[in-house]
Amino acid sequence: MDWLTMERWSPYAAGIGIGILSWLAFLLSDKPIGCSTAFARTSGMIERLFAGARVNEKPYYKLFRPEIDWEWMLVVGVIVGAFISAQLAGTFHPRWVPDHWAEAFGSAPPVRLIVALLGGILMGFGARWANGCTSGHGISGSLQLAVSGWIAAACFFLAGIATAMLIYRGFGS
């Protein structure tokens, strides 16, 4: 069980694990893996706290009922699993500003938090606009051999490479 305490897993082993998880999701629930809808449902639950039950009558929330569902629990599982993994590997260290970010843009937590918040909002809008996120399109879509899934996965990799080159330029990582 030493693999549970490893700081980094083989990307091949992680990919196989995600593939098996996807198969199980289809087998047991007949649903693809995806989590961006959970954030839309959460916004509806928050809105319902202030606006009441009439939120359920909005056309969007008729399609995506503001409730806790399996996608919502997947998000919780990702967060809890990441925490447990970091604890087991001995790499959990809470910090406001990652080292690479501090080297490139400074160590001011408010700047990092504002950029992270804006990036998260843009990703959320993009995921809803695209009707799915990286896991929905890139993993589940490509697993179903959907052309859109393969195009999305290629775009995710290209955007990730471009972003890494922009943020980590000159840091050798």
Measured between alpha carbons, how far is 108 from 119 in angstroms, rounded to an integer?
Answer: 17
Q: In whole angstroms, how far apart are CA 165 and each of 47, 143, 172?
A: 38, 28, 10
pLDDT at site 62: 93
Measured between alpha carbons, how far is 154 from 141 in angstroms, rounded to an integer?
Answer: 12
% helix, strand, coil for the chain, step of 5: 75, 0, 25
pLDDT at site 139: 86
Place of tokens 């967060």: 79
Measured between alpha carbons, how far is 128 from 107 in angstroms, rounded to an integer?
Answer: 32
Q: Which of 9, 30, 6 is nearest to 18 (CA)?
A: 9
Give the number of other Cβ atoms within 10 Å of residue 76's Cβ. 12
The pTM of the full predicted model, rounded to 2 decimals, is 0.77
Measured between alpha carbons, how far is 165 from 117 in angstroms, rounded to an integer?
Answer: 21
- The 10s digit of each residue's pLDDT in 92-139 is 988 899 887 888 788 999 999 999 999 989 988 888 888 888 778 888
For the chain, which residues make up each domain, given as ranges?
Answer: 1-94, 97-173
Measured between alpha carbons, how far is 136 from 93 in angstroms, rounded to an integer?
Answer: 30
pLDDT at site 172: 53
* Cα angle for residues 19, 22, 26 (degrees, 5° grid): 140
pLDDT at site 30: 86
First-residue to last-residue Cα distance in the chain: 29
pLDDT at site 126: 86
Measured between alpha carbons, how far is 138 from 67 in angstroms, rounded to an integer?
Answer: 25
Ranges of residues in the chain with a pLDDT under 50 are 173
pLDDT at site 171: 55
CA within 13 Å, CB half, 31: 9
Q: Which of 165, 139, 166, 162 is nearest to 152 (CA)?
A: 139
